[in-house]
Structure 1
Amino acid sequence: MQPANYTRFIRFLHEELALPQDAIAIAQRYFERDSGSFPMILWQYGLITLEQLERIFDWLEESPLIVDR
């Protein structure tokens, strides 16, 4: 994910799904260590529900790709 896309994604998690910053930070630490799927990390550690996971995948699918130059 490009940095601009990542920023938009984090904003979506915080603003649209009302995920606390602490939950996002936990997932970011695991993601940096393991490089798995960020949405799956959120779900595996109980930071989001299955419904929220589906919303994330929908957002990722519908979100226009931003390419940094």
Structure 2
Amino acid sequence: MTKQKFSRFLRFLRKEMALPKADLRLALRHPERTYDTLPMILWQYGLVTLSQLDQIFDWLERSLRPEV
């Protein structure tokens, strides 16, 4: 994931998923964090519900599709 796409992803989490900055900072400090594991880290820490996790994966799938 490019830096630009990751920035869009973080913006989505803050604006549309209403995750507080403190929650994101906590998840981003995780030692095994990579861009693709962030949604699962958020869920494991109890920062998002399963329903929200589904929404996050849906957003990622739509947003990361190669442009034709």
Residue 40 (structure 1) aligns with: 40
Alpha-carbon RMSD across the aligned residues, in angstroms, is 1.5
Between the aligned residues of both structures, percent identity stands at: 50
TM score, norm. by length of structure 2: 0.87
Q: Say which structure, 1 or 2, has more relative contact order (CA 8 Å, 6+ apart).
A: 1
The aligned amino acid for 1:22 is A
Moved over 2 A (4+): none
Counterpart for residue 53 of structure 1: 53
Which consecutive unaligned segments of at least 5 residues does structure 2 have? Answer: none
CA-CA distance at 1:65 after TM superposition: 5.4
Whole-angstrom CA distance in 1 between matches of 2:64 and 2:10: 15
Answer yes or no: is the 8 Å Cα contact 1:5–1:65 preserved in 2: no
- Structure ranking higher in helix proportion: 1
The question of whether the paired residues in 2 share the 8 Å contact of 1:39 and 1:53 is answered with: yes
Q: Find the counterpart in structure 1 of residue 16 from structure 2.
A: 16
State the Cα distance separating 1:27 from its structure 2 match.
0.5
